[in-house]
Amino acid sequence: MFCLPAEASHNIALRAMKICDGIGASGLLAANTAGKAQPKRVMGIDFPHVVGLAAGLDKNADYVDALAAMGFGFIEVGTLTPRPQPGNPKPRMFRLKTEQAIINRLGFNNKGIEQACENIGKLRNRGVLGINIGKNFDTPVQQANQDYIHCLRRAYQLADYITVNISSPNTPGLRNLQFGDEFNSLLDELKEEQARLQAQHNIYTPIAVKLAPDMTQEQIVSCCESLLSREFDGVIATNTTIDRSLVNSSPFADEAGGLSGAPLSEKSCEVLRCIKAEVGERMPIIGVGGIMSADHAQQRLAAGADLLQIYTGFIYQGPPLIEQILAGIAKNQLGKLD
């Protein structure tokens, strides 16, 4: 698989998992979570265990059943936009094998929120599902709120939680939504719409906001203050980074896009610590970004994460990483009891 172009191999791997799931052979590939999975309630949702799949791998909810069968505690699909869009020109994904990393500039390639919601409606046994939403690439930042509200309305009844992606580096101007008046305006409209939808459907669907790892401490504090004052349900730390300082020797170091994987781990964990220092127990945190081992997972939990998500680690190691993380958590908790 690693001899193929990165994006092609991703698609082939997903189709293979779907075939295995269709013929009942997923158990041959899945993580063994028996005796290791410990349920946890976060954002009012009962998660079977803390290790989930981050958004980006299953853009359109085409493979949720197959991925859930791999042993994940929850799946996040997307990022989804109001209208279908092809994303950036190929090639747009690069594996940095030596560094255990990936650079991508996919650009929210997806079939649109309508197609994804249709797919979700056909799922057999989805488990806990998050839907990650964004804006179309050609929607001006000044009109971005409309895109997020459109997606929130469409996904509200189908999602267990919704993630607002304002931190991808691959959509022009998107990260500007993390700051100042644009940020606060978006948060206000999202909370107002959430309240309206709750009253309309008698369902409360939590909303989490996904932040970038490339912010200053002052910016992180400002974001947290805004999220807390509006009583958002969670924060996800973090998206990919534009920092190349730890991969300078790679032949792909100059490729534009977001860097994920091992080089992101320390930076992402530090942002999580900063967020935890600001929000304390008032807001749950989902830790993601460079979780490549059970030790990385333990560091993220110790830093204050309530849940974990993996992506690049899953690409490089597959379902065994889920099992290793859960075994490490169980061992750590047993050690505390002793």
Cα 305 from Cα 138, distance rounded (Å): 34
Scanning the chain, the segments in alpha helix (DSSP H) are 6-22, 64-68, 113-121, 144-155, 180-201, 217-229, 265-279, 294-303, 312-317, 320-337
Cα 265 from Cα 254, distance rounded (Å): 20
Name the phi and psi angles at 179, rounded to 5. -130, 150
| C-beta pairs of 226-231 under 8 Å, 24+ apart in sequence | 226/183, 226/184, 226/187, 227/187, 227/279, 227/283, 228/278, 228/279, 228/282, 228/283, 230/187, 230/188, 230/191, 231/191
Nearest Cα residue to 103 out of 294, 243, 309: 243
Name the phi and psi angles at 191, rounded to 5. -65, -40
Whole-number CA gyration radius for the chain: 19
> Which residues share a beta bridge with 4?
none
Catalytic pick among 167, 168, 222, 226: 168
Structure tokens at 201: 């459907």
Cα 158 from Cα 170, distance rounded (Å): 27
User: Is 245 among the residues known to form the active site?
Assistant: no
262 with 268: CB under 8 angstroms? no
Q: How many CA atoms lie within 13 A of 51 on its CB side?
A: 34
Nearest Cα residue to 77 out of 56, 47, 93: 56
Q: If 0-12 CB within 10 Å is exposed, 13-18 middle and 19+ buried, where does residue 17 land?
A: buried
Structure tokens at 194: 């959430």
Catalytic residues: 168
